Amino acid sequence: MKATFLGHATVYLETSKTKIVIDPFLTGNPKASAKADDLEPDFIVLTHGHGDHIGDALPIAKRTGATIISTYELATWLGSQGAKASPQNHGGWCKYPFGAVKFTQAIHSSSVPDENGRPIYLGEPAGAIIQIEGKTVFHAGDTALFSDMKLIGDEVAIDLAFLPIGEHFVMGPKDAAKAVEFLHPKVVVPIHYGTFPPLVGDPKEFARLAEGKAKVAILQPGESVEV
């Protein structure tokens, strides 16, 4: 399986049979390495409702017919706007032709502003465990460090993890390195840093702190890892 980092928290998973995009934020993303129209996913996995995660999900879903897999409130809300949607909720596996998806806890929030700037809440934020053609990918979404990450690492052998390290809105490098200890993935890719000024977390610091716990792959937008 090839996993390409498209900038910020956007990840594109490709096998010979299936393409999945996670948190497609390309339009308005200063670090995006692709355009929304370049992607032809079969499925779109969304961790939470913030604009830098749902981003282009709706137009991509409408153009390609891809199914949006997300938590109940977010998936049904996007489904009501014309997307094909598969609502799940935290803790339960759901099977798909490519494998299965389970949403985990994430300590964060999930909303979009209404026309007056007031938040419309979109359920609980999540991380996503994606089993695809025999490989296990964990995308933590936006989150703080939490000790129940140990349970995730104990349940599944993670081949590839994407962890936010940006500080301010999510974990910084130090907490993310602790998360690596809990999750013990084979390969970890730091994400959600450097896109906007508050996201100051340094991937080199993360790599130094996580050294020996997992193979750290610092990907520039557009770069891939094979697992």
Binding marks (x or -) toward Mn ion, 53..92, rule CB under 5 A?
A: ----------------------------------------
CA distance 128 to 94: 11
The residues that touch Ni ion, with contacts defined as CB under 5 A, are 50, 142
> Could you tell which of Mn ion, Ni ion, none binds residue 159, using a CB distance below 5 to 8 A set by kind?
none
To Ni ion, the closest distance from the beta carbon of 169 in angstroms equals 6
Nearest distance in Å: CB 78, Ni ion: 16
Q: Of 6 and 187, which CB lies nearer to Ni ion in the complex structure?
A: 6
Q: Of the candidates 142, 159, 167, 175, which one interacts with Mn ion according to CB under 5 A? A: 142
23 binds, among Mn ion, Ni ion, none (CB under 5 to 8 A by kind): none
Q: Tell me, rounded to whole angstroms, the distance of Cα 24 from its chain centroid.
A: 9
52 scored as a contact of Mn ion (CB under 5 A): yes
Please spell the DSSP secondary structure of 149-216, one letter per residue.
HHHHHHHS--SEEEEE--STTS--HHHHHHHHHHH--SEEEEES-SSSTT----HHHHHHHHTTTSEE
Q: Which residue number, 124 or 142, has a Cβ lying nearer to Mn ion?
A: 142
Of 51-59, 90-98, 195-203, 212-220, which segment contacts Mn ion by CB under 5 A? 51-59
Task: Please report the DSSP string for 113-160 in residue order.
Answer: E-TTSPEEE-S--EEEEEEETTEEEEE--S----TTHHHHHHHS--SE
> Which residue is listed with tokens 């964060």?
108
Written as six digits, the tokens of 109 are 């929030």
Spatial distance between the Cα atoms of 196 and 210, rounded to a whole number of angstroms: 24
| Closest approach of Ni ion to the CB of residue 48, in Å | 6
What does the alpha-carbon distance between residue 198 and residue 170 come to, in Å, rounded to a whole number?
11
Stretch in the footprint of Mn ion (CB under 5 A) among 96-104, 126-134, 135-143, 193-201: 135-143
Stretches 47-55, 64-72, 195-203, 206-214: which one binds Mn ion (CB under 5 A)?
Answer: 47-55
If one asks whether residue 23 binds Mn ion (CB under 5 A), the answer comes out as: no
Residue number with CB closer to Mn ion (52 or 159): 52
Q: How far is the CB of 108 from Ni ion (least distance, A)?
A: 6
Residues 73 and 89: their CA atoms lie apart, in Å, by 9
Alpha-carbon distance of 131 to 137, in angstroms, equals: 6
Complex with Mn ion: residue 60 or 171, whichever CB lies closer: 171
Q: Characterize the bridge pairing of strands 43-45 and 19-22.
A: parallel
Binding region for Mn ion (CB under 5 A): 52, 142
